[in-house]
Structure 1
Amino acid sequence: MGPRHQSAESRGADRSYVKMPSFLLLEALCLFLFAGVPPSLPLQEVHVSQETIGKISAASKMMWCSAVVDILFLIDGSHSVGKGSFERSKHFAITVCDALDINLRKVRVGAVQFSSAPRLEFPLDAFSTQQEVKAKIKGMVFKGGRTETGHALKYLLRKGFPGGRNASVPQVLVIVTDGRSQGHVALPAKQLKQRGVAVFAVGVRFPRWEELHTLASEPWEQHILMAEQVEDAANGLFSTLSGSAICTITSPDCKVQPHPCQRKTLETVRELAGHAPCWRGSRGTDAMLAALCPFSSWKRVFLTHPATCHRTICPGPCDSQPCQNGGTCVPEGLDRYHCLCPPAFGGEADCAPKLSLECRVDVLFLLAGSAGTTPEGFLRARALVKRFAQAALGEDSRARVGSEAVRAELEEITGSPERVMVYTGPQDLFSQIPKLHGKLCSRQRPGCQAQSLDLVFMLDASASVGPENFAQMQSFVRSCALQFDVNPDVTQIGLVVYGARVQTAFRLDTHLTRAAVLRAMSQAPYLGGAGSTGMALLHIYDKVMVVHKGARPGVPKAVVVVTGGSGAEDAAVPAQKLRDNGVSVLVVGVGPVLTEALRRLAGPRDSLIHVAAYEDLRHHQDMLMEWICQEAKRPVNPCRPSPCLNKGTCVLHDGSYRCECRAGGGGPPRGSRSV
């Protein structure tokens, strides 16, 4: 292949040049084209098990921030981000809003879009509901233009947080960008942080992590996130807010834990592609071969940055390893799971044997192997054991299988003829299995999770308690609520708060699941003002523990009062009124000194738990649960409180009740019910 020639007049002065073989040109072109297509790899990887990743995702859905805080989203709308990643940035912001108690008294949210210049989408005081804020973010239109992050930060330095409150309210700035600014960002970012603004830098598309480090508050590892991994990013953001005491996010059982992670960035680098002949001189006939010269190609590569990611982890339903016989537990949220069972146990709950019981008990089979038992009889009995589920039996619930000839001996062993079963032949022996199931499962289950109960927590939200201690109360009752199976057939939970006024946060029949109860408890308002414990107890008597507001006839009822003791002087009589109506009342008194008013409120049974400080409430949870379980097992009068409407009279009759209506009552009775 000869050299290309060109006249000196057309090229100017003589110079050396490289003539590259055509196959090398093709190789360099292919390198660039194929490297230009980014692989579909996550740009941030948390190095944990798949189970832990599932827990991180589940915890992000349970988070809830209800605090006085101003949160401003600064969203990159430049061409380097693009429309697709801009939509993902909006989705991240909307997901964060799902966990915020947005109103003008608590969490305020605003948004600014920036590219060549910043544009205020809506100020912090524009909207007072979560739905309005999410709709406005969803409607944001992509601007396009240069990435002038520095100009946007200077805009905030001049204007402050648009629609924000005074300096006493924490300010959080969430910058969503690819970190490829065309101006300087270090100085304005530093000045914002010096003003006390907590800055989160959230990467989008192919972020430049070095610039995100410059933007974010310290420690960087807790303030840098990746928007496209929405649930992980939301978990990381709220984990940091929880650690900095801006928000109280999850239940006490959930913990923020550090995990090793790796972040990647896509960069264009130059690398040696090969060598080609170099010709010296003009491109005429006098050109001569000088040497072989190197040539390079440009390639897009991923550069890795090791880091530590802090995420909130909550106890999972699979922690107790509920799947038996080698089954694999697959969590479904925070309190549900399903089991992948081996073929021999497929289709059965928890991979239990095919002939499993509906209760969990330990069974000890005593097989007669004496001289009087034939080999055939022994093998029959052993076959029964093989076909029967393995379960547990308490001392007071023994059951045996035997022949008619030894009935008297079996009755002596079990202590009751009701616990003796006889069989006449092999097939009859196997047909006894359902009957044995019933005998084993007839014993009472331990604990009180299976007991029906109407439970109301009453929290002191007065000024004498203060917002921080009220948050401790909320955390305490949330932990207690975790111990119950909340549904309309087992446990119903209600919440009343009192301070300047008495307010039903939610009724007994409002929330049908434990998750809904926990979320509603976090949203209970702090009222302030002077509280009256007596007025709150009368409110429960008249408007909460009544049938038409969700209370169930014939179900044990309990009220747990958590108070600092102020305003309890008038509470003894209303508390006794509740007790006379069949409602148990327990007082959790907090403070270094136990007042006489609280002692009177506790009543003659001394239903009182004294806690020295609000921080110590969690140490008394077991004592409270023991009291509740005892009250749940007490005999119940289905006529207290009365289930009858229109002032009808409830009358007990042969284990049930009926309603006798007054003349002109204007409607039928509530009905009757067996108890």
Structure 2
Amino acid sequence: KSIKTFIVVICESVKVSRGYPAQKCKSGPVDLVFLIDSSRSVRPHEFETMRKFMIDILDTLDIGPNTTRVGVVQYSSQVTWLHTATWTPWSKALTRSSPSPQGTMTGLAIKYMMNMAFSAEEGDRPKVPNVAVIVTDGRPQDRVAEVAAEARDKGIEIYAVGVARADMTSLRAMASPPFEDHVFLVESFDLIHQFGLQFQDKLCGKAGKHDCEQICCVSTPGSFYCVCPEGQLLQDDGKSCACKSANIDLVLLIDGSKSVRPQNFELVKKFVNQVVDSLDISAHGTRVGLVQYSSRVRTEFPLNMYHSADEIKAAVMKVDYMEKGTMTGLALKHMLENSFSEAEGARPTSRNIPRIGLVFTDGRSQDDITEYAKKAKEAGITMYAVGVGKAVEDELREIASEPVEKHFYYTTDFTAISTIAENLKLNVCPGTTLWAAPKDTTQQETQRGRNIYTFHRLHSFFHV
């Protein structure tokens, strides 16, 4: 039944893209706000393409006071509220929009969206999903991570669409998890309709608020049900997922240096426990080990010490903060030579159980990481690198396995690391990769390739 629902939605999107009469999406009520970048870098013909992209999406929606309400925020150095979602016809609002030869204050626009656009005075409804789509072609000139996190905490689901020169790190800082569903990067404004097709699918699948976690919500008449990504199983609560093939050896290396600070170290421990919550822990399934490092390295517990999630989470919360330096290279050496040894609980390589290492750091390493980052990957360990604050991107990329875009995460603020943990729930589970980046592919090229691959795959499969 879920496959039929999915095919119907995609087929309707493809029909629209090929000139067939648009069939209105019968979604549940949604309050939708577009934030459109109109800074000096957006050329007039590109702005016109972006405006047409919004109109094409809105043409497929059932817009009305009791169904979908739409608002438009235009921003550059200032913010302009083009459309009140309750009364003004959205087509008239869009015709009034025009590019502005000024800067790119994306954080200011998000704050306005959160406090003004999604307010009762402007037509926002209680208990109706709030969805925001940010379309930008450049790097923000103000801070976005904190205000975007605040907006997400208020229940606003954020899609970040980057075009051409857009900065991937900024897009991730703004978007809701999982990033694979909420971050899109296209090469030019001419290709922005690729996001439109995927977004129509997601919006049409909304049947009012639901509590599916990190998974697809499939709508049925008057109801919905949750579906897990490939490689995961729906749990008894009907809304969360765990790995189906939960037989991995996972070692987490957490930075306990002085720069982290005690209150942030508590957030790091919660981050670890979020990752643990997504796994099926047992002696014969997933095993988890924890290593803390600063100027020295300390095994908090090896892979073979605990065999349930509750035991691991309790042990994590009891870990004492080390302080002092940041010897990431020494920690990688310890992980390779000790943590993934059979003596500490790693299963023999002959059993082909995936070995995964996750490094969490907030700063530049005080020793060389090159040798043991390379040796770990050569030993068959899949490496994830998670950075926060003053972490160095080049070091994180050197630690991460290929494709780097899938194994490297960064945020400016410790309060946002829970978002990264949510996204890691998908990636640590074994599954099929639909699109793999060639070696030496940049982060932006990887995301761009995945989006284009998805677009062409849908067109070729649902050829109507």
Q: TM-score range by the shorter chain?
A: 0.3 to 0.5
Higher percent of residues as helix: 2
Q: Which has the larger radius of gyration?
A: 1
The alignment's TM-score, normalised by the length of structure 2, stands at 0.42
